[in-house]
Every structure is written in C-alpha cells, then in structure tokens.
Structure 1
Amino acid sequence: MLRKIRLTLAILFFTLVTLLFLDFTGTAHAWFRWMAKIQFLPAVLALNIGAVVLLILLTLVFGRIYCSVICPLGVFQDAVAWLGKKRKKNRYGYSKALNWLRYGVLGLFIVALIAGIGSLVALLAPYSSYGRMANNLFQPLWQWSNNGLAYLSERAGNYAFYSVDVWMKSLSTFIIAAFTFIIIAILAWRGGRTYCNTICPVGTVLGFLAKYAWLKPVIDTSKCVNCNLCARNCKSACIDVKEHKIDYSRCVACMDCIGKCHKGAISYTHPSGKDATPASNEKIDNTRRSFLTTTTVLATTSALKAQEKNVDGGLAKIEDKLIPNRTTPLTPPGSFSARNLTQHCTACQLCISACPNGVLRPSTDLMKLMQPEMSYERGYCRPECTKCSEVCPAGAIHPLTVEDKSAVQIGHAVWVKKNCIPLRDGVDCGNCARHCPTGAIQMVPSDPDRSDSPKIPIINVERCIGCGACENLCPARPFSAIYVEGHEMHRTV
C-alpha cells in the first residue's frame, strides 16, 4: 500500500512538473507553478524558507521522500529503471557507498556556487537537468504533436487547436540536454539510482539528513531468511542483507523492498534499539557538517549575451536578423540586475519554455552556459506579459504586476544611422515610432531646415523601457536600425 501511494504521488508530481515545461497555453503555470518553487535548490536560492523547512522536515520524518516523489529527475530515473526491470528482474545488489565521490562532488558544487561557475552548477543541479531535458527534447515533440492536431482539426473545420512555432533555441544547450538524457538513462537502466547516490549534490545533502529520519525501512532479523530478494530489487543498492542493515543516506524510501519481501521482514517504522544504528558506521566528520551549512551560501555569476539567429515576425520569409553587439546584456524585468539574475538562476529554463514571445533563450557563452538571455529577433517583451516572473522558482526573476513591469526600464533604445531605411533607401518608415508602447520614439525631419526631408527617429531615453518592440519590428536587415542597450541595474520610469 505504501508503495502504491508513493507511486501515485510520484506520477502526479512528475506529470504536472513536466507540463510546466511543455504547456504553451499558460494553463499549467496558473495552477501548478508552486511545484517548481518547492524544488530543493531553487527554494534555497530564492530564500523560500517555507519550502526549505518543509523539505527538511519531510526528510527528517520520512527519509528521502523528496527524491522519490517530488524531484522530477528522480522519478524519471525510476521510470527508466522500471523499463530495465522488464529485461531482467532481481538485477541489483548491495554496494558500499562511494562517499569520497558523493562529498567530493558536493564540495565541488558548493565551490562552483561561491566562485560563480554557473555552468557547472547548472550541469549538476537535478531539477535544472530535468528542466533542460523537458524544454529541449520533450517540448518540441509536444509542440509538433499539437501542430499535427491543429492541422487535422482545421481540415475538419474545427479550430480547437492552433499551430505554434517550433524552433531550436540553442544548439549547444540541446546537445547538453541530449547527453544528459543519455547518460542518466544509461545509469538508471543499468544501476537504478546511481546518479542520485554518487553525483547529485541535492541527494547527498538530503541523504545526510535522512540518516536521522524518524521513519525508515527496518529489517526484522527474526523474520528475515536472507533470501536477498530485497537487496536484488533495491535500486539504491543500499541493503546489506548479510549485516541486516540499510544505508539510510542512500535509501530514497521507494518502498520496493517492502513490497518484495514475502516474509514481512521489512517494515516502514521508527527503528529502536540496535536497529536505530545507521547502516553506515562511519563517523560523520566536521567536513560533512560544513558542507550542509555551506549549501545555504549560494552565489553564481554570469551575464547574458544573445547569439541566436531567427526570422522577423510576419507572413513572409525574409532575410534573417542578426543580433546586435550589446555592450550591456539585457536581463528580464523583475531580475533587477544581471548580478541578481546570476546569483539565483539555476538554468532550469522554465522561464524560457514559458516565454510566449520568443524573447528568452539559453546562453551559449561558456561562463553563462544555459542561463536565460534576452534578444528580440523573434519577438519583443510585451509590457502586458509577466510569464517569466510568475514561473521562476529560484528568485532570479521576481514577480511583477503588469503595472510594475510597464514602469521598469531594463534598457534603452539606440539608433544606428547607417542602417535606417529612410536615409539608406530613401523611403518612409516610422515603424519604431508607431509600435513603441511608451511613446518614447518620435519621427522628425532629418534636415531641420527642410520639412520634407526623410524623417528619422529620436528617442526619449527617460521614457523608453527597453521592451524591444522597435528593434523587433524594424524592417532593416540584417541589423536593425534601432536596438536596445541593457542597463546593469534596472530603473523605474
């Protein structure tokens, strides 16, 4: 029964968290974005004390239930391991914990956080790893399926579905997501929870706490017949049947051992007497304690720079726009500054998958790898849209109201005279002024002494909020005649 409850909750969490990355309508985000906010590392980075305390209490009461129910990467591994069982049953066995590797990776992870090596942090963070897989591998399949349904329903005279644009936001991030998928799938197929118990820094921290959990799987030596069935079905490889002990730092409370034991020798209860001794008799040194304390000190550094090419919006294919060379990168409204964004961002890419305007995409810069960046080749940051600030679980982008966003200046427009169509081609334009939502751009004669001279834009930088409507809708190719330069610190207009 316990296993069925755990499986039901795990499937529910996994499905809904995955939908957060797949759903382009915003419906899932409206109801279930809290599931992203209770993931361990994003909650710590966001200083979400309630979520962190809840997860710690859950671990101290139930063990590593977070890893087997709430963490999507953990549930994904269970799904792959279950498929592996179809090929060969009773295929696991007890192995000693590789504590030198577990705590070594955790130490490296913390050093990377403090040193600001955001790309390494993003590679090791479990929720972020799954987010990249969902955003880069699963989302295109979901969107193509939707477009197929839209095509069929349109032919039937039904418009319940609508087509969406499917595009690769970053080749490098796609490759990393594909490699992550392959590596974790192979590890799970062959060894179950190998990744969780040797590499995952969150698993190591929670495993440290799980040693002191109130409820644990406990072996009743008077009933155990040493059949080894529990150990051969333990995907965490943490049951030592010979010693009748369980390494609770690696146990993810999946309840598989309880379901497989035909003698009822394993129960999920509070250990007492000699059973209360943790499976691992190694002394918990001060280094481990310092690791746990240091995990609250989270700081990463990176800046944002766009390197993608795309086509302008419209009905006809035209020449690709190229990304301008911005001196200062653009960060989303609500991030306050590039520094705040990089201190909290885990590169989970939930904001990228939720952006309806194609403004956010993963960075390809090695030092800022996979963190979100803004660019306006496919769309612009509409003042009425607050999706990224609503879904960010790590506090990298703070929630904003529509009114607040309309007053946040993330950058200012810059005019490039040599690219401007009225001067270059001798035809009227004014697209930038017509579409500026704040009225920060006006068209004036290029020659003050001639009222009939070609009109060019002038920009009121005090009113400009840096939304990028002018840059996106400028017809000049390959570079826009007007682009947005970012601000290190956001301002209020």
Structure 2
Amino acid sequence: MLRKIRITLAILSIIGVSLLFLDFTGTIHAWLGWLAKIQFLPALLALNIGVVITLVLLTLIFGRIYCSVICPLGIMQDGISWLGSKRKKNRFRYSPAMSWLRYGVLALFVVALVAGAGSLVALLAPYSSYGRIVSNLFAPLYQWGNNLLAYFAERADSYAFYSVDVWMKSFSTFAIAAITFIALIILSWKNGRTYCNTICPVGTILGFFARYSWLKPVIDTDKCVNCNLCERNCKAACINIKEHQIDYSRCVSCMNCIEKCPKDAIHYTHHSKKQALPTDSRRRFLTIGATFATASALKAQEKKVDGGLAVIEDKKIPNRSTPITPPGSHSIRNFTQHCTACQLCVSVCPNQVLRPSTSLMTLMQPEMSYERGYCRLECTRCADVCPAGAILPITKADKSAIQIGRAVWIKENCVPLTDGVDCGNCARHCPAGAILMVPSDPDMSDSPKIPVINTERCIGCGACENLCPSRPFSAIYVEGHEMHRIV
C-alpha cells in the first residue's frame, strides 16, 4: 500500500513538473508553479527557508522521499528502472557506498557555487538536468504535435489551437541534455539509482539526514530467511542482507523491499538503534554542509518572405560586450549566481527572447537576444516562474521602469543612409518613446532622417533591434547593463 501511494504521488509530481516545461501558453504555471518552487536546490538558492526546512524535516521523518516523490530526475530514473525490470527481474545487488565520490562531487559542487561557476552547478543540479531534458528533447515533439492539431483545426474553421515556432535555441545545451538523458538511461536501466547515490549533490545532502530518519525500512531478523529478494530488488543497492543492514543514507524509501519480502520481514517503522556516522565522515559532511549553506546564503543576495517575392535574410546576433539579463534579475552577478539553468523561463518566454548561453562560464544559463522577438512590457512570465530567485517577481508597472540595457545606433547599417529611403521603424515602435527621428544633416530639413536615442528613457526592451529592417545586423541594437537601473 505504501509503495502504491508513493508511485501515485510520484507520477502526479513528474507529470506536473513536465507540464511546466512543455506548456507555452503560460496557463499551467498559475496552477502548478509551486512544484518548481519546492525543488531543493532552487529553494535553497532563493532562500525559501520554509521550503528547505520542510524538506529536511520530511527527510528526518520519512527518509529520502524527496528523491522518490518530488525530484523529477529521480522519478524519471525509477520509470526507466521499472522498464528494465520487465526484461530482467531481481537484477540488483548490494554494493558498498562510494563515499569518496559522493562527498568529492559535493565538495566540487560547493566550490563551483562559491566561485560562481554556474555551468558546473547547472550540470550537477538534478532539477535543472531534468528541465533541460524536457525543454530540449521533449518540448519540440510536444510543439510539433500542437502544430499538427492547429493545422487540422484551421481547416475545420476552429481556433482551439495555434501554431508555434519550433527551433533549436542552443546546440550545446541540446547536446548536453541528450548526453545526460542517454547516460541516465544506461545507468538506470542497469543499476537503478547509481546517479542519485554517487553523483547527485542533493542526494548526498539529504542522505546525511536520512541516516537519522524516524521512519525507515527495518529488517526483522527473526522472520528473515535470507532469500535475497529485498536485496535483489533494491534499486539503491543499499541492502546488505548478509549483515541484515540497510544503508539509510542511500535508501530512497521506494518501498520495493517491503513489497517483495515473502515473509513480511521488512517493515517501514521506527528503528530504536541509532545509526551513527563515523566521526571522520560526520566531520567531513558537516564541514562541507556548512560551506554549502554559507555559499547559498551569499548567493541569495521557418523562412520569412516579403509579399511572396523576396526572401528576408535572417538576423544575426550582434556582438554584445555585456549580456542582457531579464528584468527582475537586478544584475548579471545576481542572475548568474542564483540561476540553475533549468530552462523553465526559456520554455515559457512567449516572445522567444530567452535562449541558453553558449559562454563557458554561464553555459546553459538563459540570456536575452532579440532576433526573433522583443521583451514586451506586459509580459512578466519569466519572473513569475523562476524558482531559484535568479529572476525576482515584478509587476508590469515595475517592468516599464527597469532599464536592463541601452540602445546603440550603428550608422553604417541604417537604411535611410545606405538605401536612401525613409524608415523610422525603431522610433515608431519604441514603447518608452526613447527614439526620435531627426534630419541627418541639420542644415537640410529634407535630408534622410536618422534615429537619436535618449539613453535615460531607453529600457533595453529590444523592440528597435528586433523591428529594424537592416539585415543581417540591425542598425540599432541593445547593450546590457551589469546592474539594472530604474528610469
């Protein structure tokens, strides 16, 4: 019964989290956005102390149920492992804990967190890894399916569906997501929860508390006949039936052992004997844990055609000296230190402004660019969904006053000067009224008009850059601000 309850909750949890990354309408987040905010690492980086304390208390009471019920990457591995059991039953066996690897990876994770190496942090974070897998591998399939429905609906005079663009936002992020997914399939198919108990830093953290959990699987030595079924079905490889011992730091409370025991010799109950850590292990963990907590606290601070006649050349990304981060992130430093590169904001951006960075230090973390759209003043979706505090919640009124960058004019690319035609697209569409068209020659009122930018009013939304007809590079583009300003 306990196993069935866990499986039901886990299925509901992974479906909910997956929908957050698949949904491009923004409606799912109003109902299920809390599922992203209760993930351990995003909650820790956002200093959501209530969530962190709740997860720790749950672990101290029930063991590592977070890993089996809440963490989508763990649930995904369970699903793959279950499929593997259809091919070969009773295939697991006990293996000693690789403590040196677990704590070594955790130490490396803490160092990367302190040093601001966001790409390494993002690579190791379980929730972020799952987000990248869904948004890069599964979301395109979901969107193609939606477009197929939109195609048939349109021919039935229905507008229940609408077509969306499907494009690769970053090849490097796609490749990392694909490699991660393949690696997890291999590990889970053959060995169950190897990743969770040797590499995952969240699993190592919670594993320490799980040693002292109040409720845990306990072997009744009087009933046990050493049939090995519990050990052979333990996907965490933590049951040593010869010694009648369970490594609770690796046990993910999946309840498989309880269901498989034919003698009812394992019960999920309170164990009176204390599972003490060796002094060196405890000291090593507490040192790493304290550093981790301190570091976290510091962080908290398709082709286009013109009239069917001419192909319009795609825009190219300008070489920005300073990247642009979303309104609500406050500064590049705050954004990069909090962001776990889960891609949730990228998934929900309706204007296709956000895409993963290809820079080594911020690899996979989102950055803004305006080739496909611009940041509209009425949209605050990225700030609404960010679970890690990298983009803090803002109102529409706040957004119209936040200057994330400034427009820069490139004279050599401007259409009135290069082609001798009137334009003014940038001025007409600037929502802040920061661009004025003036004669290029002050002494000749009928000379071609060029844009003049009021940098004090410009908010860096990118409307001018996106709507500029110049190709392949716009005649006006946005440079980001290291720290956002209020205008």
In structure 2, the residue matched to 1:413 is: 407
Q: Any gaps of 5 or more consecutive residues in structure 2? A: none
In structure 1, the residue matched to 2:6 is: 6
In structure 1, the residue matched to 2:418 is: 424
Structure 1 residues 220-248: Cα deviation after superposition (integer angstroms, max 9, x where no partner) = 11111111111111000001111111100
Secondary structure of the residue that 1:411 maps to in structure 2? strand
C-alpha separation between the residues in 2 aligned to 1:362 and 1:301? 24
C-alpha separation between the residues in 2 aligned to 1:376 and 1:462? 21
Letter in 1 for 2:287: S
Does residue 1:102 correspond to 2:112, yes or no? no
Contact persistence 1:131–1:349 (CA under 8 A): yes
**RMSD (Å), alpha carbons:** 1.8
Letter in 1 for 2:347: S
In structure 2, the residue matched to 1:124 is: 124
C-alpha separation between the residues in 2 aligned to 1:6 and 1:338? 40
Letter in 2 for 1:292: G
In structure 1, the residue matched to 2:283 is: 286
Contact persistence 1:312–1:321 (CA under 8 A): no
Which has the higher mean CA deviation after the structures are superposed, 397-406 or 316-325?
Answer: 316-325
Does residue 1:19 correspond to 2:19, yes or no? yes
Letter in 2 for 1:198: T
In structure 2, the residue matched to 1:170 is: 170
Residue 89 of structure 1: how far off its partner (Å): 0.5
In structure 2, the residue matched to 1:389 is: 383
Letter in 1 for 2:177: A
Identity %: 72
Letter in 1 for 2:404: I
Residue 397 of structure 1: how far off its partner (Å): 0.5
Letter in 2 for 1:277: Q
Does residue 1:277 correspond to 2:275, yes or no? yes
Note closer, same or farther for the CA distance 1:207–1:301 as it changes in structure 2 (3 Å cut): closer
Residue 442 of structure 1: how far off its partner (Å): 1.1
Contact persistence 1:80–1:185 (CA under 8 A): yes
Note closer, same or farther for the CA distance 1:334–1:315 as it changes in structure 2 (3 Å cut): farther
In structure 1, the residue matched to 2:42 is: 42
In structure 1, the residue matched to 2:54 is: 54
Contact persistence 1:362–1:373 (CA under 8 A): yes
In structure 2, the residue matched to 1:307 is: none
Residue 283 of structure 1: how far off its partner (Å): 5.5
Does residue 1:456 correspond to 2:454, yes or no? no
Residue 312 of structure 1: how far off its partner (Å): 7.2
C-alpha separation between the residues in 1 aligned to 2:124 and 2:275? 31
Contact persistence 1:389–1:398 (CA under 8 A): yes
Does residue 1:298 correspond to 2:295, yes or no? yes
Residue 156 of structure 1: how far off its partner (Å): 2.3
Contact persistence 1:420–1:481 (CA under 8 A): yes
Residue 123 of structure 1: how far off its partner (Å): 0.9
Does residue 1:343 correspond to 2:337, yes or no? yes
C-alpha separation between the residues in 2 aligned to 1:314 and 1:409? 33
C-alpha separation between the residues in 1 aligned to 2:347 and 2:408? 29
Note closer, same or farther for the CA distance 1:313–1:134 as it changes in structure 2 (3 Å cut): farther
Contact persistence 1:330–1:373 (CA under 8 A): yes
Structure 1 residues 276-305: Cα deviation after superposition (integer angstroms, max 9, x where no partner) = 436x76853311111122221336999xxx
C-alpha separation between the residues in 2 aligned to 1:88 and 1:232? 11
Which has the higher mean CA deviation after the structures are superposed, 331-340 or 444-453?
Answer: 444-453
Residue 150 of structure 1: how far off its partner (Å): 1.0
Contact persistence 2:14–2:75 (CA under 8 A): yes
C-alpha separation between the residues in 2 aligned to 1:14 and 1:373? 27
Contact persistence 2:47–2:297 (CA under 8 A): no
Letter in 2 for 1:462: E
In structure 1, the residue matched to 2:143 is: 143
C-alpha separation between the residues in 2 aligned to 1:206 and 1:284? 15
Residue 175 of structure 1: how far off its partner (Å): 0.5
C-alpha separation between the residues in 1 aligned to 2:304 and 2:453? 23
C-alpha separation between the residues in 1 aligned to 2:81 and 2:305? 44
Note closer, same or farther for the CA distance 1:300–1:484 as it changes in structure 2 (3 Å cut): farther
Q: Any gaps of 5 or more consecutive residues in structure 1? A: 303-309
Contact persistence 1:236–1:252 (CA under 8 A): yes
C-alpha separation between the residues in 1 aligned to 2:282 and 2:57? 23
Number of aligned residue pairs: 483
Contact persistence 1:22–1:135 (CA under 8 A): yes
C-alpha separation between the residues in 1 aligned to 2:439 and 2:329? 38
Letter in 2 for 1:488: E
C-alpha separation between the residues in 2 aligned to 1:431 and 1:328? 25
Letter in 2 for 1:484: V
C-alpha separation between the residues in 2 aligned to 1:299 and 1:115? 12
Structure 1 residues 378-433: Cα deviation after superposition (integer angstroms, max 9, x where no partner) = 00000110011011111000000000001100011111111110011000000001
Question: How does the TM-score come out when normalised to structure 2?
Answer: 0.96
Contact persistence 2:212–2:275 (CA under 8 A): no
Residue 485 of structure 1: how far off its partner (Å): 1.1
Note closer, same or farther for the CA distance 1:380–1:390 as it changes in structure 2 (3 Å cut): same
Letter in 2 for 1:378: R
Secondary structure of the residue that 1:396 maps to in structure 2? coil
Contact persistence 1:300–1:344 (CA under 8 A): no
Structure 1 residues 23-57: Cα deviation after superposition (integer angstroms, max 9, x where no partner) = 00111111111111111111111111111011111
Structure 1 residues 186-217: Cα deviation after superposition (integer angstroms, max 9, x where no partner) = 00000000000011011001001100111101
